[in-house]
Amino acid sequence: MKFILDNIFIVAIAVVSGGALLWPALAPKGRRATALQVTQLINRGKTTILDVRGADEFAAGHVRDAKNIPLADLSNRIGELEKSKGRTLVVVCQSGARSDKAVRQLKAAGFEDALSLDGGMTAWTAAGLPTTK
């Protein structure tokens, strides 16, 4: 106890840095699926792919049959997805961060079965899965 009191600033720094390291693991995330799981969902049917990257990123390469609605426009264009409410909605971005935000927006709008591609297009192409332009 004497050590802690004598070195309170060092102990405080250690506690704060430990909390900072744990924060990403504890931050709320939407439901995620790996590239293999997404491929299985696509093969089963009843899956809609939503790409939330910008138009230029989408044009460079995307998952086949993906619909492109950039994350910045999603709240205004969410009505375009009403037909997909009964389907599994897989949200894709470049790394997975934007798609997590999009999944949260979609869940708030009533899309119960929305999930994010874990690792985004980076993981998709690393797995050697096909893309179209």
Nearest of 115, 116, 118, 48 to residue 86 by alpha carbon: 48
What whole-number distance in Å separates Cα of residue 73 and Cα of residue 87?
Answer: 21
- Is the per-residue pLDDT at 101 higher than 60? yes
With pLDDT > 90 as the criterion, what percentage of the chain qualifies? 1
Cα–Cα nearest to 32, from 19, 43, 41, 44: 41
Q: Which residue has the higher pLDDT, 27 or 98?
A: 98
Which of 18-27, 94-103, 119-128 comes out lowest in average pLDDT?
A: 18-27
Helix (H, G, I), strand (E, B) or coil at 53: coil
Annotated catalytic residue: which of 71, 74, 93, 117? Answer: 93
H, E, C per residue of 62-114: ECCCCEECCHHHHHHHHHHHHHHCCCEEEEECCCCHHHHHHHHHHHHCCCCCE
- Predicted confidence at residue 102, as pLDDT, reads 84
Q: What is the pLDDT of residues 23-64, one digit of tens each?
A: 666 655 557 878 888 888 888 888 888 888 888 888 888 888
Number of neighbours of residue 65 by Cβ within 10 angstroms: 10
Residue 107 designated active-site? no
The enclosing H or E element of 116 equals strand 114-117
Cα–Cα distance between 119 and 99 in angstroms, integer?
10
